[in-house]
Every structure is written in structure tokens, then in C-alpha cells.
Amino acid sequence: MAEEPDLDDLQRRMEGAVDVLKRDFGGLRTGRASVSLVDPIIVDAYGAATPLNQIATVSVPESRLIGIQVWDKSLVQSVEKAIRNSGLGLNPAVEGQLIRIPIPELNEERRVELGKIAGKYSEQARIAVRNVRRDGMDGLKKMEKDGEMSQDDHKFYGDEIQEMTDSTIAKIDKSLATKEVEIMQV
């Protein structure tokens, strides 16, 4: 009996690339406030690099405002500095232990720049999916060469892997199109 390749593992790895893409897209700033916008911010807290969401509560009280309630008063300055140095172009306002971050309108130049960054993220995801496909196809070739699989099974599973790849890349393209519309929305 012919041995079957692990198609579930390949599918899981391809979906992982889509999940990473969606997380990357969450960090891209559009005109609206989002908790995921500050997720990548790392704060120097107690001598260690700590994610912002582990030392403060992040909320979105309004569509154009992010509120950060820092739990330890001694960390407020560190959080403010981390936000300013994050490269997101945000200008926090400190009020005691509460930090308010107004989300300004994006100008046309910045929107185009964000669209290019989104394109880079989606291309990285496509490359990851194609690498998973290549691993799967290499596994099929090895199984056929070792006599564990017939040529017909090799072709059948090769077509299955290609179909998974095509559908995953279509998801990536759809996510990119949605993000580009969101970025260009005024």
C-alpha cells in the first residue's frame, strides 16, 4: 500500500502564513484607532523588554483615539518613550497613568507608502506558502523515488498540494485588496 503525504501539515503551515499576514496587517496604521496598532510596541520595563499589553490596558474609547492605562506609575515615561520611538508616527499625551494617543488623518503620500508596505507583507506570505508547496513536492518526489508511492499517486497528491497553494494565495490576495481599500479610504 502507498504511503500518504501529510497534507494536513502542509495546509496548517500555509494557513500559518495567512495568520502572520493578518497580524502584520493589524499593525499597519489606517485612519482608525485599533488595539492591534500598538501590539508590536515593546517597552523597557523593570530592565526587560516587555510587550505593552503586559504592563497596561489598551482600549479604543473613540474611533480616532487609543487609551493606554499603565498599571505602574513608574512605567508611564517608558511607555510614552516606546510609543514615540515605535515608528508609527504617533504623538501620545500623558495624563497621570493614562496615555491618550490621537490617531491623525493620513495624507495621500503616507497612504501610498502604507499600501507598498502591505504589498511587501503579502509578498512575504506568498513566498512562505510557495516554500511550503516546494517542501510538499520534494517530499512527494522522495516518496516516489523510494518506491513508497506510484507515479499516479504522485500526480494526484501534487495536484492536491497545488490546489491548496492556489487557494491560500487567493486568500492572501483578497486580504491585500481589502487592506489596500481600508488604507486608501478617506
For residues 145 and 176, membership in a common domain is answered with yes
Structure confidence by residue, pLDDT tens digits, 25-34:
877 766 677 7
- Those residues with Cβ within 8 angstroms of residue 70's Cβ, 6 or more apart along the chain or in another chain: 55, 56, 76, 79, 97, 98, 99
**pTM reported for the whole predicted model:** 0.68
For residues 146 and 164, membership in a common domain is answered with yes
pLDDT reported for residue 32: 72
Structure confidence by residue, pLDDT tens digits, 62-94:
888 899 999 989 999 999 999 888 777 778 999
In a domain, 1, yes or no: no
| CATH code of residue 12 | 1.10.132.20
pLDDT reported for residue 1: 38
Say what the alpha-carbon torsion angle 143, 138, 174, 58 is, to the nearest 10 degrees. Answer: 100
In a domain, 20, yes or no: yes
For residues 63 and 129, membership in a common domain is answered with no
In a domain, 2, yes or no: no
| CATH code of residue 65 | 3.30.1360.40
**73, HSE (Cβ side, Cα atoms, 13 Å):** 2
pLDDT reported for residue 30: 67
In a domain, 144, yes or no: yes
Q: Which of 77, 102, 127 is the last residue of a domain?
A: 102
For residues 94 and 38, membership in a common domain is answered with yes
Domain coverage including residue 82? 32-102
For residues 62 and 90, membership in a common domain is answered with yes
In a domain, 90, yes or no: yes
Q: Which of 81, 102, 123 is the last residue of a domain?
A: 102
For residues 128 and 158, membership in a common domain is answered with yes
In a domain, 18, yes or no: yes
The low-confidence residues of the chain, meaning pLDDT below 70, are 1-3, 29-31, 186
In a domain, 112, yes or no: yes
Distances (CA, A) of 174 to 22, 170, 180: 11, 6, 10
Distances (CA, A) of 31 to 50, 87, 113: 27, 16, 14
> Rounded distance, CA 101 to CA 79, Å?
12
Q: Total domain count for the chain?
A: 2
